[in-house]
Amino acid sequence: MITAGFNDPVLDSQRCFRAVLDAMSRPGRIHRLPALPEAPAPLNPAAAAVLLTLVDADTPVWLDQPEAADWLRFHAGCPVAAEPGAVPFALAAGAMPALASLCQGSEEEPHLAATLLVQVAALRAGQGWRLAGPGIEHEHRLEVVGLPADFLAQWAANQARFPRGVDLVLCAGDQLACLPRSVQITEG
């Protein structure tokens, strides 16, 4: 049984896109998604909405757990890839793959780098990390529950590769926050 996608595919994906665009433009700012599909396990609603908004037949997707593959193929028509190394979109419902293992783009074509969706336990504003960089007036604070212990070290390496590097969408429940490769993170 395949559960429902967006209620209104055109307008719901537009609303979700605006949330993702604003989240990517203001790193660390938490957005609650305005329209959600019936996400099948193990997808959380925010991650499912982002995928339906952005992927289609032109974008292979890698899923760390295959249970939602049929749902995604049915609603988005995207190929599901077996390996994460060359895909434009990857989703980690469980443990996050190493950032360095994903497509980084090249110096001449850094836009070909992957976008990684990571499902996390919680996102909290006003505490935790200190974020700086494009999109941030002074400082954004963000606490993320459920990332690997060495995440900040991985992020520092990702950031050092700029303009190459992976962009992150962190999804918790119906909320998301983004970490574009341009953002610097320091421990709070």
Partner 1 sequence: MIEQGYNFGYLDENTKRMIRRALLKAVALPGYQVPFGSREMPLPYGWGTGGIQLTASVIGPDDTLKVIDQGADDTTNAVSIRRFFHRVTGVATTERTAEATIIQTRHRVPEATLGEHQILVYQVPMPEPLFRLEPRVAETRRMHALADYGLMHVKLYEDIARHGAVTTSYNYPVMVNQRYLMSPSPIPAFDNPKLDRMPALQLFGAGREKRLYAVPPYTPVRSLDFEDHPFVPVRADAACVICGSRASYLDELIVDDGGTRHFVCSDTDYCASRPPLQEDAA
Provide the binding-site residues for partner 1, judged by CB under 8 A: 9-11, 13-15, 17-18, 20-22, 24-26, 53-59, 88, 106-108, 110-111, 113, 115, 133-137, 162-163, 167, 180-182
Which of 42, 79 has the CB closer to partner 1?
A: 79
CB 120 within 8 A of CB 178: no
Which of 56, 70 has the CB closer to partner 1?
A: 56
Dihedral over alpha carbons 154, 160, 164, 169 (to 10 degrees): 40
Which of 41, 160 has the CB closer to partner 1?
A: 160
Q: What share of the chain is helix, strand, coil (3-state, %, to 5)?
A: 30, 25, 45
Which of 65, 157 has the CB closer to partner 1?
A: 157
| CA atoms in the 13 A half-sphere facing the CB of 134 | 8
Q: How far is the CB of 135 from partner 1 (least distance, A)?
A: 4
Which of 143, 167 has the CB closer to partner 1?
A: 167
Q: How far is the CB of 11 from partner 1 (least distance, A)?
A: 7
The CA R_g of the chain, rounded to the nearest whole Å, is 15
The Cα diameter of the chain in Å comes to: 48
Which of 42, 141 has the CB closer to partner 1?
A: 141
Q: How far is the CB of 146 from partner 1 (least distance, A)?
A: 22
Q: How far is the CB of 130 from partner 1 (least distance, A)?
A: 15
With residue 154 as reference, give the H or E element that holds it.
Answer: helix 151-160
Q: How far is the CB of 168 from partner 1 (least distance, A)?
A: 10
Nearest alpha-carbon partner for 91 in 125, 109, 124, 67? 67
Angle at 138 between CA 27 and CA 141, to 5 degrees: 50
Q: How far is the CB of 174 from partner 1 (least distance, A)?
A: 19
